[in-house]
């Protein structure tokens, strides 16, 4: 039996549930209620450009924070002894086993005007601060929820970097900064690009986090799309156009990241 | 060879998880020498190298380089470079950039970097491989890149951690000659770690034999081979027959129930000693003419010689002889006074 038959189930799955819906999204995006061709849905999107911008900026900021937090942690993990690594990794993954909504809801309770954090500050006569319904709260929610998706790919590339490479760099005169810039970063670039993809894409299109922690101030493209399908202004044609444009924008962002990474490494995705 | 001491270790102690790796090790290494640290795995030879390289700080003791204390100096500030066991080449850089790594960090002008890198690649015979990816090179070629990468920085001392371990026998022999040639051409100090006694004898000016974190003997390859200070060194450097004996008096030793005259003295009367005799130093004679006689247990052809095992009084003698003997035959063994090496009895 030829090996390509093994992939048949997935190919059928892909055609039915990925390719066909994608065609439908494209179809809806370029038609009106009567089913005739139009580009009005796309052109109308310019009025939502601030929402698109905000989504991409918030997602990008959250991704950068994830990278900054995850990089040292992943390095630390990868240098641990194998037995301790498993336990530490488990501790990091553990929050992911809790329901996503519950985790975000917990943050709501913490950040609220009468929440735990403001109550704590209140003890010293400070505040209350406007913590919830800010861009900062949304970024916090994204970083908190998606951090493990950055740690995992970073960790798995770093664990393959032989410690003798770091020693070799030091031996050749590299101080800590040079070891990071000239050896660690280039060698962990595959993990960085995967991590960025895995955090940036869901952050960009999230609607729960922005709804719960951002309220009206951090209205994101995901919320907008949700409204078109589940809200009062039911309009699947506009919703599809939004999804399509978002997809193109995300692909564009990703290709920029990958292009940047390719300068240093031969590994591409 | 001048007598300048380039690297000096004083009373180095290293512990890992309460296990002592180096136990008060002191060692002076002379400039422009090829020094080999030799010993079985776990003897502390690699640890010693890592102390000199700066990858490890001793629990106590001092490291001196060219007369200056460098015990706590980080690796990137030391004038030594290392060739790592598994080469540790940077897979994201090509051959040229791997070799140029240290020079780029020194921010030298591009022209100087280029000429020095190409000159070094010439020395290791990889001039035409400059633009190649390191992952496309064979083990021997990767090894040469690692050597070039270290040497291009003009270190005063090159540290080599079992660099030939992963190569096949023929390539290993080639590289041994090559390394010796490079060391002599550049006129710098090489500190070489290996567990392969043949490698140590072939290349070194000085061999340091180690066991359990303690130096057993320091000497030229000839000294180490011909005059081992104890049964461990004798056994580790080449094959040996090691017997228990009694030093009856100066120049007379008893072992295997027979008294032999020897050239050693200075032991207490009737002191228990170890007697070491090299397999090639035993003369095979007809049974009646031998001081000792025994039955041939096995004969194995080894190319240059036959390895003959002879049982005599419950001890299996290893004998290297160019003459074939027959299994089961009774033969005689003679040993000249010069060939008998007496050493203090080992405690383990």
Per-residue pLDDT, A173: 93
Provide the whole-model pTM.
0.81
Are B272 and B287 in contact by the 8 Å Cβ rule? The answer is no
Domain match, B198 and B137 both: yes
Last residue of a domain, one of B231, B258, B276: B231
Domain match, B197 and B254 both: no
CB contact under 8 A, B86 and A172: no
Domain match, B269 and B200 both: no
The answer to the question of residue B199 being in a domain is yes
CB contact under 8 A, A172 and B150: yes
Give B282→chain A minimum CA distance, Å: 47
The SS3 of residue B98 is helix
Residue A130 has pLDDT above 70, yes or no: yes
pLDDT digits (tens, 9 = 90+) for B267-284: 889 999 999 999 999 999
- Under the banding of pLDDT at 50, 70 and 90, the label for residue A262 is low
The answer to the question of residue B236 being in a domain is no
Residue A49 has pLDDT above 60, yes or no: yes
- In the predicted model, what is the mean pLDDT of chain A? 88
The SS3 of residue B83 is strand
- Under the banding of pLDDT at 50, 70 and 90, the label for residue B65 is very high
Domain match, B282 and B188 both: no
CB < 8 Å to A187, chain B: 90-92
CATH of the domain at B311: 2.40.50.140
Cα-based angle B260, B263, B268 (whole degrees, multiple of 5): 80
Go through chain A and tell me how many residues it has.
269
Residue B295 β-bridge partners: B311, B330
User: Where do the domains of chain A lie, and which CATH numbers do they carry?
Assistant: 48-262 (1.10.3720.10)
The answer to the question of residue B89 being in a domain is yes
Domain match, B203 and B250 both: no
Distance CA A93, CA A149 (A): 9
Q: In this complex, is the C-beta atom of B41 within 8 Å of any C-beta atom belonging to chain A? A: no
Best of B85, B87, B91 to substitute, by most chain A Cβ atoms within 10 angstroms, is: B91
The answer to the question of residue B254 being in a domain is yes
* Nearest in space to A142 (alpha carbons), one of A253, A62, A207: A62
pLDDT digits (tens, 9 = 90+) for A67-83: 999 999 999 999 998 88
Domain match, B271 and B216 both: no
Give B192→chain A minimum CA distance, Å: 16
The residue that leads in pLDDT, A185 or A113, is: A185
Of chain A, the percentage scoring pLDDT greater than 70 comes to: 96
Residue B16 β-bridge partners: B19
What is the β-pairing status of strands B252-255 and B241-249? antiparallel
Give A182→chain B minimum CA distance, Å: 9
Last residue of a domain, one of B180, B211, B231: B231
What kind and span of H or E run contains A197?
helix A185-205
CB < 8 Å to A266, chain B: 92
Write the DSSP assignment of B221-263 as a string of letters.
HHHHHHS-SSHHHHHHSS--EEEEEEEEETTEEEETTEEEE-S
Per-residue pLDDT, B310: 94
> Quick one: average pLDDT of B153-176?
90
pLDDT digits (tens, 9 = 90+) for A115-126: 888 888 888 888
- Under the banding of pLDDT at 50, 70 and 90, the label for residue B156 is very high
**Positive or negative torsion for Cα B202, B207, B211, B213:** negative
Distance CA B309, CA B320 (A): 9
CB < 8 Å to B102, chain A: 172-173
Q: In this complex, is the C-beta atom of B221 within 8 Å of any C-beta atom belonging to chain A? A: no
pLDDT digits (tens, 9 = 90+) for B317-334: 999 999 889 999 999 999
CATH of the domain at B216: 3.40.50.300
Per-residue pLDDT, A266: 41
CB < 8 Å to B76, chain A: 170-175, 178
CB < 8 Å to B91, chain A: 187
The answer to the question of residue B272 being in a domain is yes
For B217, the domain range is 5-231
Domain match, B248 and B191 both: no
Distance CA A62, CA A132 (A): 16
- Under the banding of pLDDT at 50, 70 and 90, the label for residue A265 is very low
> Quick one: average pLDDT of A97-104?
88
* Nearest in space to A60 (alpha carbons), one of A154, A145, A143: A143
Per-residue pLDDT, B3: 63
B76, B92, B153 member nearest A175 (Cβ): B76
Per-residue pLDDT, A5: 83
- In the predicted model, what is the mean pLDDT of chain B? 91
Best of B17, B90, B147, B156 to substitute, by most chain A Cβ atoms within 10 angstroms, is: B90
- Compare all CA atoms of chain A with the CA of B86 and give the residue at the minimum distance: A164
CB contact under 8 A, A175 and B81: no
Domain match, B150 and B268 both: no
Per-residue pLDDT, A1: 56
B76, B91, B92 member nearest A170 (Cβ): B76
Distance CA A251, CA A241 (A): 15
> Quick one: average pLDDT of B1-30?
87
Q: In this complex, is the C-beta atom of A88 within 8 Å of any C-beta atom belonging to chain B? A: no
> Quick one: average pLDDT of A252-261?
80
Best of B49, B70, B76 to substitute, by most chain A Cβ atoms within 10 angstroms, is: B76
> Quick one: average pLDDT of A32-60?
90
Structure letter (DSSP) for residue A37: B
Residue A268 has pLDDT above 80, yes or no: no
Q: In this complex, is the C-beta atom of B111 within 8 Å of any C-beta atom belonging to chain A? A: no
- Under the banding of pLDDT at 50, 70 and 90, the label for residue B348 is low
Residue B295 has pLDDT above 90, yes or no: yes
Token pair recorded at residue B139:
């083990």
- Under the banding of pLDDT at 50, 70 and 90, the label for residue A215 is confident
* Nearest in space to B102 (alpha carbons), one of A161, A180, A178, A158: A178
- Under the banding of pLDDT at 50, 70 and 90, the label for residue A267 is very low
Q: In this complex, is the C-beta atom of B107 within 8 Å of any C-beta atom belonging to chain A? A: no
Distance CA A111, CA A106 (A): 9
Best of B70, B83, B92 to substitute, by most chain A Cβ atoms within 10 angstroms, is: B92
CB < 8 Å to A168, chain B: 82, 84, 88-90, 149
Token pair recorded at residue B331:
């033969």
- Phi-psi sector, B266: left (phi>0), alpha (psi -120 to 50), beta: left
Per-residue pLDDT, B240: 87
CB < 8 Å to B57, chain A: none
pLDDT digits (tens, 9 = 90+) for B38-48: 999 889 999 99
CB < 8 Å to B108, chain A: none
Domain match, B176 and B276 both: no
> Quick one: average pLDDT of B188-196?
94
CB contact under 8 A, A173 and B106: yes
Give B102→chain A minimum CA distance, Å: 5
CB < 8 Å to A79, chain B: none
CB < 8 Å to B55, chain A: 167, 170-171
What is the β-pairing status of strands B157-161 and B5-16? unpaired
- Compare all CA atoms of chain A with the CA of B106 and give the residue at the minimum distance: A173
Residue B259 β-bridge partners: B254
Q: In this complex, is the C-beta atom of A168 within 8 Å of any C-beta atom belonging to chain B? A: yes
Per-residue pLDDT, A128: 81
The answer to the question of residue B84 being in a domain is yes
Residue B1 has pLDDT above 80, yes or no: no
CB < 8 Å to A169, chain B: 90, 101
Domain match, B55 and B160 both: yes
Q: Say how many CB pairs under 8 Å bridge A and B.
A: 65
The answer to the question of residue B318 being in a domain is yes
Domain match, B199 and B279 both: no
> Quick one: average pLDDT of B253-275?
91
Structurally, how many domains does chain B consist of? 2
Distance CA B168, CA A145 (A): 52
Distance CA A160, CA A191 (A): 11
The answer to the question of residue B258 being in a domain is yes
Domain match, B206 and B246 both: no
A162, A178, A265 member nearest B88 (Cβ): A162
Last residue of a domain, one of B182, B199, B231: B231
Per-residue pLDDT, B42: 87
Best of B17, B93, B101 to substitute, by most chain A Cβ atoms within 10 angstroms, is: B101
């Amino acid at each position: 039996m030829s090996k390509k038959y093994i992939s048949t189930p997935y190919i059928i799955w892909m055609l039915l549930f990925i390719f066909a819906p994608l065609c439908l999204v494209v179809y809806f995006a370029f038609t009106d209620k009567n089913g005739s061709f139009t580009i009005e849905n796309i052109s109308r999107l310019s009025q939502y450009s601030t929402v698109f911008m905000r989504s991409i900026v918030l997602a990008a900021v959250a991704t950068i924070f994830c990278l900054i937090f995850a990089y040292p942690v992943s390095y630390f993990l990868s240098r641990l002894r194998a037995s301790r690594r498993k336990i530490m990794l488990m501790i990091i993954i553990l929050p992911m086993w809790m329901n996503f909504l519950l985790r975000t809801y917990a943050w709501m309770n913490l950040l609220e005007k009468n929440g735990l954090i403001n109550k704590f500050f209140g003890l010293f006569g400070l505040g209350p601060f406007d913590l919830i319904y800010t861009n900062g709260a949304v970024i916090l929610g994204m970083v908190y929820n998606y951090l493990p998706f950055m740690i995992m790919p970073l960790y798995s590339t770093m664990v393959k970097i032989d410690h003798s490479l770091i020693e070799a760099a030091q031996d050749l005169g590299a101080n800590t900064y040079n070891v990071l810039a000239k050896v660690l970063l280039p060698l962990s670039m595959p993990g960085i690009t995967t991590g960025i993809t895995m955090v940036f894409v869901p952050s960009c299109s999230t609607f729960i986090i922005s709804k719960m922690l951002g309220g009206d101030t951090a209205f994101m493209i995901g919320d907008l799309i949700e409204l078109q399908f589940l809200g009062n202004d039911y309009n699947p044609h506009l919703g599809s156009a939004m999804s399509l444009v978002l997809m193109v924008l995300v692909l564009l962002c990703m290709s920029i990241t990958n292009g940047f990474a390719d300068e240093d490494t031969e590994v591409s995705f | 060879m001048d007598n300048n001491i380039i690297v000096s270790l004083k009373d180095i102690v290293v512990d890992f998880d309460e296990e002592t790796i180096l136990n008060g090790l002191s060692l002076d290494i002379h400039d422009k020498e090829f020094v080999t640290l030799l010993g079985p795995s776990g003897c502390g030879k690699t640890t010693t190298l890592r102390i000199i390289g700066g990858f490890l700080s001793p629990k106590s003791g001092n490291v001196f380089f060219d007369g200056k204390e460098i015990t706590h100096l980080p690796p990137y500030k030391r004038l030594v470079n290392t060739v790592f066991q598994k080469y540790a080449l940077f897979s994201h850089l090509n051959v040229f950039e791997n070799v140029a790594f240290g020079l780029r960090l020194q921010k030298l002008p591009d022209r100087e970097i280029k000429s020095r890198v190409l000159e070094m690649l010439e020395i290791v015979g990889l001039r035409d491989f400059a633009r190649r990816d390191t992952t496309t090179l064979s083990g021997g070629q990767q090894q040469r890149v690692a050597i070039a990468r270290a040497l291009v920085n003009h270190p005063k001392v090159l540290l080599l951690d079992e660099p030939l371990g992963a190569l096949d026998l023929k390539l290993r022999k080639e590289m041994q000659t090559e390394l010796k040639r490079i060391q002599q051409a550049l006129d710098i100090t090489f500190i070489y770690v290996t567990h392969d006694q043949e490698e140590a004898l072939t290349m070194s000016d000085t061999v340091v034999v180690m066991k359990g974190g303690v130096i057993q003997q320091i000497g030229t390859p000839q000294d180490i081979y011909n005059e081992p200070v104890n049964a461990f060194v004798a056994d580790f450097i080449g094959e040996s027959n090691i017997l228990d004996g009694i030093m009856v008096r100066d120049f007379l030793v008893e072992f295997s129930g027979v008294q032999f005259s020897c050239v050693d003295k200075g032991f207490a009367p009737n002191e228990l000693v170890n007697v070491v005799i090299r397999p090639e130093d035993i003369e095979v004679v007809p049974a009646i003419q031998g001081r000792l006689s025994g039955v041939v247990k096995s004969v194995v052809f080894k190319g240059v010689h036959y390895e003959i095992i002879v049982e005599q009084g419950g001890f299996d003698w290893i004998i290297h002889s160019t003459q074939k003997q027959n299994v089961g035959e009774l033969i005689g063994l003679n040993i000249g006074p010069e060939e008998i090496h007496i050493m203090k009895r080992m405690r383990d």
